Structure 1
């Protein structure tokens, strides 16, 4: 873990580094509560934004070459690709082969239907780490303490509302992730 901390401290801006530390700690705490290996969650949380500060053109080039682009929106907003590109680079550059960690990193930005418990933990930890302050974050934190699925639903809905308020297009995976949870809960 120490080598990753040193690597990230050199690679990320100070604010992103602090955020990554907060996500790592939050993820480890959620993992303990939800029967997931806390060290696996801590590492995924720590490394989740590995590609976040790459220039848009580089994100597009890497994602395009690896076949990671799933929709036109990602071409228009390449920052949406930092999760999948991050997972790709973690494997290529750092030799991380744990598929669960790589998938959680890849899915942390827009979510996905059928997320694993680790995927949910990393998505949520990114949303609720202590440095995050936005309307509704306390409700998501409270839900995460007792019901991971309910917290994830609240987090996805907060993301959707945020994007709608900015009058931007929604990523289909975020909508699909929300719908998947609602349908799985049997509400429809």
Structure 2
């Protein structure tokens, strides 16, 4: 898909603030792709569409989860997790984007998953560290992303798990699977 056309579609479907966030994620993802040798075209498309369904009404997201026959258990978790899987299905169905790396990067950008590809990991980290993000631990992850992308993802997952535990919130199993996979494969590396 042509990048300019993708930008137009995304801008038309998102609020101004969400669109600006998306452009920052795109720029961050491109920097990481250049550093770590990922295909810039795939990273760019995944970054542009990662929040494509984020501004949809919760009831519409629920309807699409059912309509697209996404896993039923998705509805058991906070609605903030719904937009990634729905966006992946929309871009596949309506925009004929079929690259598995792109679709998985969009689908799993909020939860992560075990054995993420390089493109998936870049989108996951870029969304977490884009320049306007400001929360405890983000600076450490930004610093680590310059040295070790996979450890940056592991630290982002760890921070997310801690944050959700502090809120007594449910945690999607993919987040644990992603954290455990990275901890087992790369070990524990502190910044």
TM-score by length of 1: 0.93
Decide whether aligned partners of structure 1 residues 108 and 70 sit closer, same or farther in structure 2, where only a CA change above 3 A counts: farther
Q: CA deviation at 1:91?
A: 1.2
Kindly indicate whether the alpha-carbon contact (under 8 Å) linking 1:124 and 1:151 is maintained by their aligned counterparts in 2: yes
User: What is the root-mean-square deviation in Å for CA atoms of aligned residues?
Assistant: 1.5
Select 1:47's aligned residue among 35, 46, 49.
49
Kindly indicate whether the alpha-carbon contact (under 8 Å) linking 1:144 and 1:151 is maintained by their aligned counterparts in 2: yes
- Which sections of structure 1, spanning at least 5 residues, go unmatched? none
**Which residue does 2:69 correspond to in 1?**
67
Tell me the distance in 1 between the aligned counterparts of 2:36 and 2:94: 30
Tell me the distance in 2 between the aligned counterparts of 1:65 and 1:173: 22
Tell me the distance in 2 between the aligned counterparts of 1:30 and 1:185: 19
Mapping 1:23-102, distance limit 5 Å: 23-69=25-71, 71=73, 74-102=75-103
**Which residue does 1:9 correspond to in 2?**
11
What secondary structure, in the 3-state scheme, does the structure 2 residue paired with 1:7 have? Answer: helix
Tell me the distance in 2 between the aligned counterparts of 1:61 and 1:148: 35
Mapping 1:85-124, distance limit 5 Å: 85-124=86-125
**Which residue does 1:147 correspond to in 2?**
148
Runs of 4+ in structure 1 off by over 4 angstroms are none
Tell me the distance in 2 between the aligned counterparts of 1:173 and 1:24: 24
Kindly indicate whether the alpha-carbon contact (under 8 Å) linking 1:60 and 1:75 is maintained by their aligned counterparts in 2: no
- Which sections of structure 2, spanning at least 5 residues, go unmatched? none
**Number of corresponding residues:** 186
Kindly indicate whether the alpha-carbon contact (under 8 Å) linking 1:59 and 1:79 is maintained by their aligned counterparts in 2: no
Tell me the distance in 1 between the aligned counterparts of 2:76 and 2:86: 13
Q: Deviations along 1:164-184, whole A, 9 cap, x unmatched?
A: 122211111101110111122
Tell me the distance in 1 between the aligned counterparts of 2:81 and 2:75: 6
Q: CA deviation at 1:66?
A: 2.2
